[in-house]
């Protein structure tokens, strides 16, 4: 079997949308770099580039084969008299992918950029203390062993995508823009890494209270939000065209919903931070904007604009309380808020899609099953792999490197050699 | 404790899959799926708790 053949106009639009996806990668990288301290900026951006490179090469080597495409070859397990497609079994090294009429190259392009986006999410949580080599090794493991199987379940025609056909659960697991496959998977891997690496030096005082570590460049952070917006528009439109089988007119609602969700999330965060802290917090608003984009990614073609506003309002509020809760209560040091934005935002988006999407009865149950798959597979697998990697050689830089900054320690030069930097802890 | 938390998460997932494949559509299936997710939530709680710094570990 081959991937579905798309009409020419749909394929052309999907191609343009897929080409916008790297903007999301650039946006998130800029956001994480802006939230880091000035002595770690070059390292942060280079780590993002390395993660993209490693994820891309792993996708070429095994990821594309294991992820597969809808209607493509897959390994099937029979249980309860029903087929469970658990991993793609296409050809390795992208052999067999050519510019034919099957649209396979489009699915491959989409898969490549999606894995790159998922791979840079953990960088936000591991910032300012993660070795570059460890980042590359961890990204390789994530892309091959964690992301690819899950992406097959959702986007490769695997068992989650087939929940509608095999178990009559709505239209199957809804995740056209990757709220689960990209956002929640990346966010849960970020949580695993934050646990394994531990907090940055000096982040928590001896009595356990957290110290404020201010972002070095709010302009980077907010510019990153604009770039991410463009990228998520491409991601969601392409996902709707490729996986939800929208036509060109049907896909027109997607950018509307994505923008409404992000906007509502931003407004909610601005209102909540104004009420709680008496000022509008720029970095939390930026986090809320991305959380709105992440939450909208579950089913932006299947919900109404009013539903998208609700999704965004809740996502924006959730992210503020989640950032606070993780830091104050759970003592998790997540410099860029990757866990709150991507894991919490993505999971909320999946759940909301089950309630708000017009895709048939028991859609909510399909979404709950998808969330169970994320918690039951992605988090333990990401934690287990990174734990093993850390046992072999610590993924964290030495304490002195943290004090000097990762730019000097690993790259030999700071990002801003002309600037005087003040002494920090 | 950490291991128990991370084992409970796939265990809950297996309950979800078993409920899907063994039970007919209806309230019982939904209840078992939710029970599986609740077990995962419990496992996540245990994992979170196991990562909280002990008083002497706090920096």
**Per-residue H/E/C for A82-105:** EEEEEEECCCHHHCCCCCCCCCHH
Q: What is the pLDDT of residues A236-245, one digit of tens each?
A: 999 999 999 8
Contact: A204, B10; criterion CB under 8 Å: no
- Using CA atoms, how far residue A288 sits from A13, A263, A340, A412, in Å, is 29, 9, 9, 35
Residue with tokens 């996502």: A315
Can you tell me the ipTM of this complex? Answer: 0.94
Domain assignment of residue A198, given as a range: 8-77+104-411
Note whether A380 contacts B10, CB cutoff 8 Å.
Answer: yes
Contact of A80 with chain B, judged by CB distance below 8 Å, is answered with yes
Residue A398 in contact with residue A377, Cβ under 8 Å? no
Question: Is the CB of B27 inside 8 Å of chain A's CB atoms?
Answer: no
Q: What is the CATH number of the domain that holds A165?
A: 1.10.3430.10
* Number of Cα atoms under 13 Å in the Cβ half of residue A418: 0
CB-nearest to A376 from B30, B40, B48 is B40
Residue A130 lies in a domain: yes
Backbone phi, psi, residue A393, to 5°: -155, 135
Inter-chain residue contact B25 with A168, CB threshold 8 Å: yes
Which tokens is A334 given? 């997540």
Q: Which of B6, B21, B37 sits opposite A383 (nearest CB)?
A: B6
**pLDDT > 90 in chain A, percent:** 87
- Mean pLDDT value across residues A159-184: 95
Nearest CA in chain B to A371: B37
Among all residues of chain B, which has the CA nearest to that of A164? B20
Nearest to B21 among A82, A373, A380 (CB): A82
The DSSP bridge partners found for residue A233 are none
Q: Which of A223, A181, A238 is nearest to A20 (CA)?
A: A238
A231, A23 in Cβ contact below 8 A?
yes
Tokens of A125: 């949580």
pLDDT digits (tens, 9 = 90+) for A298-342: 999 999 999 999 999 999 999 999 999 999 999 999 999 999 999
Interchain pair B59, A167: CB under 8 A: no
Residue A393 in any domain: the answer is: yes
Which of A153, A140, A116 is CA-nearest to residue A386? A140
Q: Which residues, 6 or more positions from A115, have their beta carbon under 8 angstroms from its beta carbon?
A: A55, A56, A58, A59, A63, A67, A143, A147, A148, A151
pLDDT of A3: 72
Under the banding of pLDDT at 50, 70 and 90, the label for residue A422 is low
Q: Is B23 on the interface with A (CB under 8 A)?
A: no
Angle at A187 between CA A181 and CA A190, to 5 degrees: 130
Nearest CA in chain A to B30: A365
CA-closest candidate to residue A213, choices A328, A335, A87: A335
pLDDT 10s digit of each residue in chain B, 59 long?
899 999 999 999 999 999 999 999 999 999 999 999 999 999 999 999 999 987 665 44
Q: Is the pLDDT of residue A5 over 50?
A: yes
pLDDT beyond 50 at A7: yes
Mean residue pLDDT of chain A comes to: 94
Taking the C-alpha atoms of residue A54 and residue B4, their distance in angstroms, rounded to an integer, is: 32
Q: What is the pLDDT of residues A36-83, one digit of tens each?
A: 999 999 999 999 999 999 999 999 999 999 999 888 899 999 988 899
Residue of B nearest to A206 (CA): B59
Q: Which residues, in sequence order, are bridge partners of residue A74?
A: A88
- By C-alpha distance, which of A382, A358, A338 is closest to A149? A382
HSE-CB of A35 using CA atoms within 13 angstroms: 29
* A160: closest chain B residue by CA: B17
Q: Do A375 and B25 touch (CB under 8 A)?
A: no
**Which whole number is the average pLDDT over A176-185?**
97
Alpha-carbon distance A189 to B46, whole Å? Answer: 18
Distance from CA of A319 to the nearest CA of B (A): 18
pLDDT reported for residue B58: 47
Tally of structural domains, chain A: 1
Does A416 reside within a domain?
no
């Amino acid at each position: 079997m081959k991937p579905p053949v798309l009409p020419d106009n749909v394929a052309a639009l999907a191609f343009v949308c897929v080409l916008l996806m790297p903007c999301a990668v650039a946006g998130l990288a800029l956001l994480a770099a802006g939230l880091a301290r000035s002595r770690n900026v070059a390292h942060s951006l280079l780590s993002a580039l390395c993660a993209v490179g490693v994820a891309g090469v792993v996708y070429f080597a095994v990821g594309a084969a294991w992820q597969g495409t809808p209607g493509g070859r897959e390994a099937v397990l029979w249980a309860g008299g029903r087929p469970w497609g658990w991993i793609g079994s296409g050809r390795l090294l992208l052999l067999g992918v050519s510019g034919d009429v099957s649209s396979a190259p489009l699915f491959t392009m989409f898969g490549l950029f999606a894995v790159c986006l998922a791979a840079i999410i953990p960088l936000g949580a591991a910032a300012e203390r993660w070795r570059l080599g460890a980042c590359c090794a961890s990204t390789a493991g994530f892309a091959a062993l964690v992301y690819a199987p899950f992406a097959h379940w959702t986007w490769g025609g695997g068992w989650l995508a087939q929940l509608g056909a095999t178990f009559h659960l709505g239209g199957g697991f809804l995740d056209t823009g990757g709220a689960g496959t990209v956002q929640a998977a990346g966010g849960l891997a970020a949580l695993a890494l934050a646990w394994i690496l531990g907090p940055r030096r000096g982040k928590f005082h001896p009595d356990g209270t957290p110290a404020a570590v201010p972002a070095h460049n709010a302009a980077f952070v907010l510019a990153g939000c604009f770039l991410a917006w463009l990228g998520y528009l491409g991601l969601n439109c392409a996902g709707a065209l490729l996986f939800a089988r929208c036509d060109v007119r049907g896909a027109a609602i997607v950018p509307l919903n994505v923008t409404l969700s992000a906007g509502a999330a931003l407004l909610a965060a601005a209102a909540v931070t104004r009420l709680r802290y008496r000022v509008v917090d720029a970095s939390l608003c930026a986090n809320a904007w991305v959380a709105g984009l992440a939450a909208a990614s579950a089913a932006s073609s299947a919900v109404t604009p009013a539903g998208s506003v609700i999704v965004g309002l809740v996502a924006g509020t959730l992210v503020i309380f989640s950032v606070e809760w993780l830091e104050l209560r759970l003592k998790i040091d997540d410099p860029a808020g990757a866990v709150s934005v991507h894991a919490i935002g993505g999971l909320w988006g999946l759940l909301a899609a089950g309630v708000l999407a017009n895709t048939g009865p028991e859609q909510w149950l399909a979404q709950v099953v998808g969330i169970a798959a994320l918690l039951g597979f992605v988090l333990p697998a990401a934690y287990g792999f990174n734990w093993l990697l850390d046992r072999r050689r610590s993924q964290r830089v030495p304490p002195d490197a943290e004090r000097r900054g990762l730019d000097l320690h690993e790259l030999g030069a700071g990002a801003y050699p002309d600037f005087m930097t003040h002494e920090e802890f | 404790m950490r291991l128990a938390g991370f084992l409970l998460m796939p265990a809950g997932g297996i309950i979800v899959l078993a409920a899907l494949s063994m039970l007919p559509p209806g309230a019982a299936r939904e209840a078992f799926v939710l029970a599986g997710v609740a077990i995962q939530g419990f496992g996540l709680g245990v994992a979170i708790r196991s990562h909280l710094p002990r008083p002497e570990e706090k920096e």
